[in-house]
Structure 1
Amino acid sequence: MRKPLVAVLFALAITGAGVAPAVAAPESAPVAAESKSTIAQAVGSVTDAVAKTVAGQAADAPSIKAVNFAGTVSLSNCSGSVIRFPNSVDTDPALVLTNGHCLETGFPAAGEVIVNRASTRTFGLLNSAGTRVATLRASKIAYGTMTDTDAAVYQLTSTYAAIKNSYGISALTVQDTHPTAGTAITVASGYWKRLYACNVDGFVYRLKEGDWTWKDSVRYTSACQTIGGTSGSPVIDNATGKVVAVNNTGNEDGGRCTDNNPCEVDANGTVTVREGINYAQQTYQFPACFGTGNQLNLNASGCVLPKP
């Protein structure tokens, strides 16, 4: 889990952001008049060749979706996103994904699973620019746990169609297959209205933090320096625009398996501590557990989420 937000705000207040000084471009040496025409022709040929090569590569490359804040939400203490599953339909009640440790009821105990608990929690819906355009309300906590994963799914009082028609914002789709190492990703924080870009560095057999243990966690490359308040942010595959994980924690001080200092445990029990590295929990398991009408069914075929 991340440090309390009050600590993050204090740290930001006393830490300044470095600004690089402006540097003038060096002056060029004079070019002889008789050489200018030859140089111009050579430069033109090279420019044309590069342009043709880039155009060819662009035609062969997969389409990359620009990641922005549309569909993300801000919570009172965390981030989140409006999500749908591959089989969801527009008339279904919309869902919000965040962390189990972001629940208004507090951290679920190890082994605890919350299902279909009434909730009236509100969420600030953001557009692509990160501007809050609406307040969405939950009808219940459909699912929440910190066992094996750190995730919570709220059901809203609004349908996908109602949100789209009123605010022009579509839900983010949750990928139903395991992500791959090396994937370019963006962590989109609705709380901070900030995007963190990096790659999937790999997967952790077991990630242990305090009383909780999570399975097959996503480890980021070091570029994603997430902070308190980014908990619950969707982790988005840059190539598809789909959610592949939910951001949840990082090792802040180099501690070993303690609160705010998770450790990696491999299949042989070997413990590794990676100070400054951050993690997320995969979400591909969720689509199989939600059926018609986006209703939770933990007994559905293929559903492997922990049960109460």
Structure 2
Amino acid sequence: MKKSFVGALGAVSALLLAAAGAAPAVAAQTSDAPATTPAKAAPVKAVNFAGTVALSNCSGSVIRTPNSQPNDPALVLSNGHCLESGFPGPGEVIVDQPSTRSFSLLNASGTKVTTLRASKVAYATMTDTDISIYQLTKTYAQIQSGYGISALTLNDAHPTQGSAIKVVSGYWKRTYSCNVDGFVYRLKEGDWTWKDSVRYTSSCNTIGGTSGSPVIDTTTGKVVAVNNTGNEDGERCTENNPCEVDQNGNVTVRQGINYAQETYIIVPCVGAGNKIDLSRAGCTLPKP
């Protein structure tokens, strides 16, 4: 879990921000075929820092589900390994744990506009995924009326291979652009194992402190994953060096490649009033 702040400062000077992009392939036309109008590229949503937050050691974002209401208590999404109480152990699931953690809320340009405060850790785990969800003391409507900032919406569908994404770090106020390179059946790091993780193309060279950053699909503008780790040294399945394990147990190590955990699985687990309800139909998040 290199993506927390620990060990990040040495990497900052080496940071390279690269935007991934390639010209679309165009099929050759035969001489007797009528000319066709090229398909238009999908429109790109503007992605900025509005709604992202900085934690003491990580990044995060104010998020909502498609069914969240303006007067619901707002939620902040980050990583399980960013919890103020330390890493949850394998198999550990935390629900409704009191918290007064503070978050610096950023506007579109990355300027802090206020400090938000948690009332509790609504849900957190590092089993199967790596997420923490904090419930705040303010509602979406209060944040919107007070600061003009809307929450980021979680996509309720699985991310798509090849889609253009941005990883937006509130901690560093940096944005990384790349594509979804593929999906990892099992991503193993130290004692933890995560399912169906997102693997980035190489230009999302995220560093310590970017843990918990929202991964935003640039076509929809919605959150599809939460940034959480990468292989630093080429080691095999050790802390800060996750390895990929396929369905047959084959292990692949990709030094310098970074990963995220999908967030569509959160949506079925959020009920009325933004309450995390692990008994809801379709909810597959680990239970205590």
Q: TM-score, normalised by structure 2?
A: 0.90
Q: Cα distance 1:96–1:150, how it changes in 2: closer, same or farther (>3 A)?
A: same
1:114-149 deviation per Cα after TM superposition (whole angstroms, max 9, x unaligned): 000000000000000000001000000000000000
Q: Which residue of 1 aligns with 2:8?
A: 8
1:26-57 deviation per Cα after TM superposition (whole angstroms, max 9, x unaligned): xxxxxxxxxxxxxxxxxxxxxxxxxxxxxx87
Query: Partner letter of residue 244 of structure 1?
Result: V
Tell me the distance in 2 between the aligned counterparts of 1:12 and 1:71: 24
Q: How many angstroms does 1:61 deviate by?
A: 4.2
Q: How many angstroms does 1:3 deviate by?
A: 6.0
Q: Which residue of 1 aligns with 2:32?
A: none
8 Å contact from structure 2 (residues 229, 242) kept in 1: yes
Tell me the distance in 2 between the aligned counterparts of 1:135 and 1:162: 13
SS in 2 for 1:182: coil
User: Which among 178, 194, 208 is matched to residue 174 of structure 2?
Assistant: 194
1:85 paired to 2:65: yes
SS in 2 for 1:302: coil
Q: Which residue of 2 aligns with 1:246?
A: 226
Normalized per residue, the structure richer in helix is 1
Q: Which runs of 4+ in 1 moved over 4 A?
A: none
User: Which among 149, 152, 159 is matched to residue 132 of structure 2?
Assistant: 152
Query: Partner letter of residue 83 of structure 1?
Result: I
Q: Which residue of 2 aligns with 1:73?
A: 53
Tell me the distance in 1 between the aligned counterparts of 2:197 and 2:256: 16
1:292 paired to 2:272: yes
Q: Cα distance 1:4–1:217, how it changes in 2: closer, same or farther (>3 A)?
A: closer
Aligned residue runs from structure 1 range 92-241, under 5 A: 92-241=72-221
Tell me the distance in 1 between the aligned counterparts of 2:181 and 2:46: 21
Q: Report 1 or 2 for greater relative contact order, CA contacts < 8 Å, sequence distance ≥ 6.
A: 2
Q: Which residue of 2 aligns with 1:46?
A: none
Question: Structure 2 regions of 5+ residues with no counterpart?
Answer: 17-36
1:207-231 deviation per Cα after TM superposition (whole angstroms, max 9, x unaligned): 0000000000000000100000000
Q: Cα distance 1:271–1:132, how it changes in 2: closer, same or farther (>3 A)?
A: same
SS in 2 for 1:10: helix
Tell me the distance in 1 between the aligned counterparts of 2:268 and 2:201: 29
Q: Cα distance 1:228–1:200, how it changes in 2: closer, same or farther (>3 A)?
A: same
Structure possessing the higher radius of gyration over alpha carbons: 1
Equivalent residues, number:
269
Q: Which residue of 2 aligns with 1:21?
A: none
Q: TM-score, normalised by structure 1?
A: 0.84
Q: Cα distance 1:91–1:200, how it changes in 2: closer, same or farther (>3 A)?
A: same
Q: Cα distance 1:304–1:4, how it changes in 2: closer, same or farther (>3 A)?
A: closer
Question: Structure 1 regions of 5+ residues with no counterpart?
Answer: 18-55
Tell me the distance in 2 between the aligned counterparts of 1:57 and 1:143: 46
8 Å contact from structure 2 (residues 3, 211) kept in 1: no
